[in-house]
């Protein structure tokens, strides 16, 4: 049995949670902090997210591939209990079977599939408070170094795979080296590209996940209020008629705000909402994402996604916003047309423009088809003044070869979270941390006593 009181060092690229203060959250305008205060810092991108805890094993990642359904359900319950212990609300949305059944049937009539998932909504401000309490609880128990960029992983031994190779620590961008018998890599989406490069350098086998590309939609809150009041976030899947691509809703924020995420070389769009009624808006936003897999020889989905986001940044000075009616009519939106509409952009520095110059036709066609299907379920979703912000890209990195303890073929090196390609959301990311920690404690930093799981390719799903 490993030492239950082992020393723990946490290295964080961004600043500590009390020092995080993205200017855009006050002014509505991104000033391109380096590193981005939204995606980097204690708590990661989740610290300023909408704070939704999705409590279904069907949602938010692929951990079931490694630990099985029953174990994953227990891990989700454990992670949820931790959040509640530090202040997450007790109220659940979407746990009424009758409500879920009714909306599932209504969705099916319009060619949509509803994936049921109980949701505990913390809200953006409460999410930060909960994570701050967690940070305080670790004071004096875990050493934390913030504003510290890890440059590379240190590995000893020869060969490719588990034989004779083990992790020995990390090297920072400042040249400092920290030695450890076990290293848990949790790079987040912002660090997905770095981790992929390290995996290739260390000859760890990887399989590409899909890249999700789409837009953020903003409509009057009353349009979706019937379903958000009961489910908070309806997770809908649609298979497009033209291309048979899977399109899905993601990260719905009732009475929320559209926001930005800075990934260093590109800026993408996102959204959040507050639990405090005084900070809520008259609008609801959500993403529509098209999941795209690529065929050989192409194996750079992150580069592809970033290239589309970069094009939007060039044409729109970061983010483009367009009315759906203007997109259908083949014209760009202007400030004057936006002012005439019933939906006023909550992302104030988005540039009126034309998304057809940025998004591939296939993606736009898929998105418009799903909006039309959703409009039959919830009239008003596909209205003329519905706003589309682009682009939204989700980088899930490539999934490395991992065993059931989420350990790579390099002994003592563990990989967890969204940036490592095994999760797509707060709860499963938290659960992946539990898996790695328990594996380290139970196995003395050695390989988990189970067959190694394959780096299964992404095959669709929801967040």
Instruction: Please give the pLDDT value at position 25.
Output: 65
Q: What is the distance between the alpha carbons of residues 310 and 135, in angstroms, rounded to a whole number?
A: 35
Strands of 91-187, DSSP E: 113-115, 119-121, 143-145, 150-156, 166-172, 177-179, 183-185
3-state secondary structure of 339: helix
Contacts of 167 (CB under 8 A, 6+ apart): 153, 154, 155, 156, 180, 181, 182, 183, 410, 411, 412, 413
CA torsion 403-409-411-413 (nearest 10°) is -80
Tell me which DSSP letter residue 357 carries: G
Cis peptide before 74 (omega within 30 of 0): no
% residues pLDDT > 70 (the chain): 90
Q: Would the pLDDT of 134 be above 80?
A: yes
pLDDT digits (tens, 9 = 90+) for 188-242: 888 888 998 999 899 999 887 677 899 999 999 999 999 999 999 999 999 999 9
Question: Mean pLDDT across the stretch 156-185?
Answer: 87
Domains within the chain, CATH numbers bracketed: 9-21+28-90+122-207+397-443 (3.50.50.60), 210-394 (no CATH)
Instruction: Please give the pLDDT value at position 2.
Output: 35
pLDDT digits (tens, 9 = 90+) for 422-458: 998 899 999 999 999 999 998 775 444 344 444 433 3
Q: What is the distance between the alpha carbons of residues 113 and 208, in angstroms, rounded to a whole number?
A: 26
Structural contact between residues 36 and 263, judged by C-beta atoms closer than 8 angstroms: yes
Work out whether the CA dihedral 369, 372, 377, 378 comes out positive or negative: positive
Length of the chain measured in residues: 463
> What confidence tier does 26 reach under pLDDT thresholds 50, 70, 90?
low
Instruction: Please give the pLDDT value at position 309.
Output: 93
Tell me which DSSP letter residue 277 carries: G
């Amino acid at each position: 049995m490993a030492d239950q009181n082992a020393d723990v060092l946490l290295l964080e690229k961004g600043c500590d949670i009390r020092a995080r203060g993205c200017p855009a959250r006050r002014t509505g305008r991104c000033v391109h902090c380096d590193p981005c205060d939204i995606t980097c810092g204690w708590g990661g991108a989740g610290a300023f997210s909408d704070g939704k805890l999705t409590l279904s094993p069907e949602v938010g990642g692929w951990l079931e591939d490694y630990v099985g359904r029953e174990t994953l359900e227990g891990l989700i319950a454990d992670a949820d209990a931790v959040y509640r212990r530090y202040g997450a609300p007790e109220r659940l949305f979407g746990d009424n079977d009758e409500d879920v059944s009714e909306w599932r049937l209504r969705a099916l009539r319009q060619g949509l599939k509803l994936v049921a998932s109980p949701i505990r909504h913390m809200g953006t401000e409460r999410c930060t408070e909960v994570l701050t309490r967690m940070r305080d609880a670790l004071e004096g128990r875990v050493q934390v170094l913030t504003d510290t960029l890890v440059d590379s992983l240190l590995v000893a031994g020869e060969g490719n795979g588990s034989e004779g190779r083990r992790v020995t620590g990390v090297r920072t961008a400042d040249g400092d080296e920290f030695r450890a018998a076990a290293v848990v890599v949790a790079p987040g989406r912002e660090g997905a590209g770095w981790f992929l490069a390290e995996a290739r350098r260390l000859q760890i086998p990887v399989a590409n996940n899909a890249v999700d590309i789409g837009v953020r939609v903003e409509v009057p809150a009353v349009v979706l209020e019937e379903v958000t009041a009961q489910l908070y976030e309806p997770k809908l899947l649609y298979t497009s008629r033209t291309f048979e691509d899977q399109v899905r809703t993601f990260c719905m924020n009732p009475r929320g705000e559209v926001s930005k995420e800075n990934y260093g070389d590109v800026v993408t769009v996102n959204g959040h909402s507050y639990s405090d009624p005084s900070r809520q808006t008259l609008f609801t936003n959500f993403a529509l994402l098209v999941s795209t897999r690529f065929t050989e020889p192409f194996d750079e989905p992150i580069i592809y996604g970033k290239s589309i986001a970069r094009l939007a940044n060039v044409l729109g000075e970061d983010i483009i916003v367009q009315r759906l009616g203007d997109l259908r009519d083949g014209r760009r939106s202007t400030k004057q047309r936006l002012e005439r509409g019933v939906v006023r952009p909550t992302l104030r520095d988005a540039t009126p423009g034309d998304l057809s110059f940025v998004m591939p036709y296939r993606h736009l066609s898929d998105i418009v088809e799903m909006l039309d299907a959703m409009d039959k379920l919830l009239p008003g979703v596909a209205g003329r003044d519905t706003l589309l912000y682009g682009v939204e890209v989700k980088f899930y990195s490539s999934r490395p070869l991992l065993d059931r303890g989420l350990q790579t073929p390099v002994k003592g090196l563990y990989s967890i979270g969204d940036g490592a390609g095994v999760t797509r959301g707060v709860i499963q990311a938290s659960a992946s941390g539990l898996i790695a920690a328990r594996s380290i404690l139970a196995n003395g930093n050695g390989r988990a006593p189970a067959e190694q799981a394959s780096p299964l390719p992404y095959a669709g799903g929801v967040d």
